[in-house]
A and B are shown apart, each in its own frame.
Chain A
Amino acid sequence: MNEQLSIEVTDLTVAYGEKPVLWDVDLSVPAGTLMAIVGPNGAGKTTLIKAILNLIPTAAGQVLIYGQPYTEQRHRVGYVPQRGSVDWDFPTSVLDVVMMGRYGALGWFKRPGTKERQMALEALAKVGMQDYAPRQISQLSGGQQQRTFLARALVQDAQVYFMDEPFQGVDATTERAIVELLKELRAAGKTVVVVHHDLQTVPEYFDWVTLLNVRRIASGPVSAVFTDENLRLTYGGRVAFLERNGNGVGEQGDRGVGESAVASHISPTPPRPHASTPQPRR
C-alpha cells in the first residue's frame, strides 16, 4: 500500500431542497486500498458515489483523483452501479454490455471493433462468464448480472473503482468470486471503494472502512475505525453483532459469545451464517 492518495474528497455536500443528504464529507484514500462504505438506509452512501462521479449536482466540495480534478481523470475511474438501476430486459447481450466499458476510450461515433471484443472476452473470462458472452441479459441470474457489470468495469482498465452494493443479492459462489477479484485489483495497486450493506463481512473483505450517516463519522483502517463506539454513532442505537474471534473488532462493550444477530435496523438483509474463524487478513 503506497502513500499516494488516489482519492481525495473535501467538504462534499449534497442537498435535496431543504434536506442535506451529504454534509461536509472528507475522504482521503491511499492507492491500493479496498475500502467499504457503510451506513444505515438513507445515509447517503449511493449519493456519495454519485456525487463523487459528478452524476448529481453538489452544493459544495471537490474531488481529486491522483491529485487532479475528477473531471480530468475520468479515464482512470471505473464505475459499477447498482444492479437494479438498469432494465435487464433490454435487448442486448452480455458481451455487448461489457464492451460498453470501452465506449469512453472509443470516444464519439466510433464503433467497438475486434480489439474491444477481445478485451471484453478477456474481462468476461476473469469473472468466469466467457461462455455467457452471446447470452441475452434477461436470461441471467442475479450473480451473473453482477459479474457482467464487474467485467464491464474491468474492461475500463481503470485505477480507481467505485462499486455500489456489488454483493447485494448474489449467491455465495459469486460473492467469493467478487472478493477474489477485488483482492486481485488491490494487488495490482488499484483502489476500490465499495458501498457495502453487510456489516459482518467488512473486516474480512476490506482494509479500510468509512462510516457514513449524512456526515462522515469515521474513515480509516478497519482495525482502528470499525469500533463499537463508531458503529453506535453511525447507526444511532445499540449495536450487537456476531462475535468475531481472533481479529477482535473493537475492545469495549457488547460482545458476548452467542449474542444474537445484527439488530434489524442496521442491515435490511438477514445475517447469513458465517464461518467461525475469519480468514487472516492479507
Chain B
Amino acid sequence: MTITQIEIQLIAAVVAIACALPGVFLVLRRMAMMSDAISHTVLLGIVLSFFVVQTLDSPWLILGATAMGVITVSLVELLSNTKLVKQDAAIGLVFPALFSVAVILISRFARGVHLDVDAVLLGELAFAPFDRLTFFGLDLPRSLVVMGIILLINLIFISLFYKELKLTTFDAGLAAALGFSPTLLHYGLMGLVSITAVGAFDAVGSVLVVALMVTPAAAAYLLTNNLRRMLMLSALIGVISAIGGYWLARGLNANIAGSMATITGVVFLIIFLFAPERGIVAGIRRRARQKLDFAQTMLAIHLLQHENRPEAEAESQVEHLVEHIRWTPAFVEQVVDYAERRGAVRNEQGQLILTDTGRSLARQALVN
C-alpha cells in the first residue's frame, strides 16, 4: 500500500469515528433526520461566511457553517412551537429553503470560485491527500488535520458531558429537575453535529454524513443496551465501513463515499438479520421455541382448569383441542408430543392426563 492509500483510509476512518459518536445520540434522541437537514444547510453557512471573509481557506467558514447548523435547529424549533406545523414538517420546510438560497447564491455570486455545490454534496475522498498543510512540523492532508481536530472536539465534549448527555437522553424530565439544562445540552450536541458535518464535507459530502452518523449507531443499537458499548461499537462499525468501502471503491473504480455508505448498509443488514438477541433470525428461532413453550403451558393450564370437573373428560380429549383452542391438528400433535417429552402430560388413549410436573408448570404460570 502506498502512503496515499494509507492516508485516504486513515481520513475515512477518522471521519467515520467522528460521525459515529454524535450519531449515537441522534439515534437515541430520535433526531436522526436533523442530521440530514443540518448537512444541507451548512452549505449556506459556508457561502455566507465566504462572502464575509472572501477566502476559502479561513477557519471562519467552519465556524459560520456550524453556526448555521445551530440556527437551523432553532428555526425548526421556532416553527414547530407555533403549533401551526408538526416537527417533522418543520424540518422538511426549513432545510430545502435554506439550501436553495445557498445554491442560488453560489450560482449567482460565487461563480468562478472553487465553491462547487456538487463537491459539497458529494465530496471526493480520493483527492483529499493532495490538499496538504503543515501541522506541528508534519506534512499532512488538510482533511486529516481538520477531521482529527473535530474528532478530538467530539471526544472531549462527550466525555466531559457524558453523565448529562446520558441523563437528558433517557430522562429529560429528571435531568431538568436535577438542574441540568436539557436545552443547552441539546444545542451543544447540535453544534457538534454541525461542525462534524462541515468537516466531513471534504471527504464524503453531505448525504453520506447521514449514512455515517445514523447507520452505524442504529446497527450498534441492535447489539447492546449499554451506552458506552454502543458508542464504541458504532465507531468500530464506522471504521469497518470506511476501510471496506475504500477497498470496494478501488476494486470497482467507483466513488469512495458512496461505497462507504453502501458498506454501512451492508453491515447494518447483516446485523439486522443476525444480531444475537434482536436480529431477525434470532427472533424467528425464539418465536418457534416460544410457540411450543406457550402452547405447552396453555395446554397445562387448560387441563388444570378443567381437572376434576364434570367436563374434564371431554375437555381433555385430544380432538377437543382442535376445535376449542385455535390449533391445527398437526400443531396439536406437535404440542402434545412436546409436552409428553417434557413430562408435562400423559397420553392415555386419546385422553390427556396432567402430571405433577405439568400441574406445577400451570400453577407457576398462573401465579406470575
Find out whether the CB atom of A60 lies under 8 angstroms from the CB atom of B327: yes
Kindly supply a per-residue 1/0 record for chain B positions 270-303, scoring 1 wherever the CB is within 8 Å of any chain A CB and 0 otherwise. Answer: 0000000000000100100011001100100110
Which chain A positions have C-beta within 8 A of B324? 10-11
Contact B290 A15 (CB under 8 A): yes
Closest to A11 in B: B325
- Report A22-42 residues with CB < 8 Å from chain B CB: 23-24
Q: Does B365 contact A (CB under 8 A)?
A: yes
Contacts of B286 in A (CB 8 A): 17-18
Let me know if B290 and A60 touch, CB within 8 A: no
B291, B294, B295, B325: the one contacting A10 at CB < 8 Å is B325
User: Is B138 an interface residue, CB under 8 A from the partner?
Assistant: no
- On whether the beta carbons of B290 and A13 are closer than 8 Å, the reply is no
Question: Nearest chain A CB to B321's CB is how many angstroms away?
Answer: 10
> Cβ of B325 and Cβ of A15 under 8 Å apart?
no
| Contact status A11-B298, CB under 8 Å | yes
CB-CB under 8 A for A20 and B294, given A11-B302, A215-B366: yes
Output the nearest chain B residue to A61 by Cβ-Cβ distance: B326
Q: A18-B290, A60-B325, A60-B326 given as contacts; is B298 within 8 A of A13 (CB)? A: yes
Q: When the two chains form their complex, are residues B326 and A24 in contact, meaning their CB atoms are under 8 A apart?
A: no
A contact residues, range: 10 to 19
A24 touching B290, Cβ below 8 Å:
no
Contact across chains for B294 and A59 when beta carbons are under 8 A apart: yes
List A contacts of B327 (CB < 8 A): 60
Q: Cα distance A20–B301 when bound, in Å? A: 14
Instruction: Determine the chain A residues whose CB is within 8 A of the CB of B290 once the complex forms.
Output: 15, 18
Q: Distance in Å from the Cβ of B82 to the closest Cβ of chain A?
A: 13
- Complex: A137 Cα to B365 Cα, angstroms: 46
Q: List A45-62 residues whose CB lies under 8 Å from chain B.
A: 59-62
A62:B326 contact, CB within 8 angstroms:
yes
CA distance A18 to B289 in the complex (A): 10
CB contact under 8 A between A23 and B326, given known A15-B290, A15-B294: no
A-facing residues in B7-29 (Cβ within 8 Å): none
Provide the bound-state CA to CA distance between A246 and B366, in Å.
35
Interface centre among B283, B294, B365, B366 (most CB of A within 10 A): B294
When distances are taken between beta carbons in the complex, the residues of chain B under 8 Å from A18 are 286, 290
Residue ID in chain A nearest B365 by CB atoms: A23
| Other-chain contact of A60, B283, B298, B365 (Cβ < 8 Å) | B298
CA separation between A17 and B325, bound complex, in Å?
A: 21
Q: Please, which residue of chain A has its CB at the minimum distance from the CB of B301? A: A24
B290 to chain A minimum Cβ distance, whole angstroms, is 7
Q: How far is the CA of A18 from the CA of B325 in the complex (A)?
A: 21
Contact with A along B292-331 (1 / 0, CB 8 A): 0011001001100000000000000000000011110000
Q: In the complex, A61→B294 CA distance in Å? A: 13
Which chain B residues in 349-368 approach chain A with CB under 8 Å?
A: 365-366
CB-based nearest B residue for A20: B294
- Closest chain-B Cβ to A233's Cβ sits at a distance in Å of 11
Does A61 lie within 8 Å of B366, measured CB to CB? no
Residue in chain A with minimal CB distance to B295: A60
Query: What is the bound-complex CA distance between A215 and B305, given in angstroms?
Result: 13
Contacts of B295 in A (CB 8 A): 60
Residues of A within 8 A of B365 (CB): 23
Q: Which residues of B contact A15 (CB under 8 A)?
A: 290, 294
Most buried by A among B301, B326, B365: B326
The interface residues of chain B lying within 8 Å CB-to-CB of A17 are: 283, 286
Q: Please give, as numbers and ranges, the residues of chain A lying within 8 Å of B326 by CB-CB distance.
A: 11, 60-62
Residue from A23, A24, A60, A215 with most neighbouring chain B CB atoms (10 Å): A24
Min CB distance, A27 to chain B, in Å?
14
Chain B interfacial positions (CB closer than 8 Å to A): 283, 286, 290-291, 294-295, 298, 301-302, 324-327, 365-366
21 of the cross-chain contacts (CB-CB < 8 Å) are: A10-B325, A11-B298, A11-B302, A11-B325, A13-B294, A15-B290, A17-B286, A18-B286, A18-B290, A20-B294, A23-B365, A24-B298, A24-B301, A24-B302, A59-B291, A59-B294, A60-B295, A60-B298, A60-B325, A60-B327, A61-B325
Among all A-B residue pairs, the 6 with the closest Cβ atoms? A11-B325, A62-B326, A60-B326, A24-B301, A24-B298, A60-B325
Given contacts A13-B298, A60-B325, 10 further A-B contacts (CB under 8 A): A11-B325, A11-B326, A15-B294, A18-B286, A20-B294, A24-B301, A59-B294, A60-B326, A61-B326, A215-B366
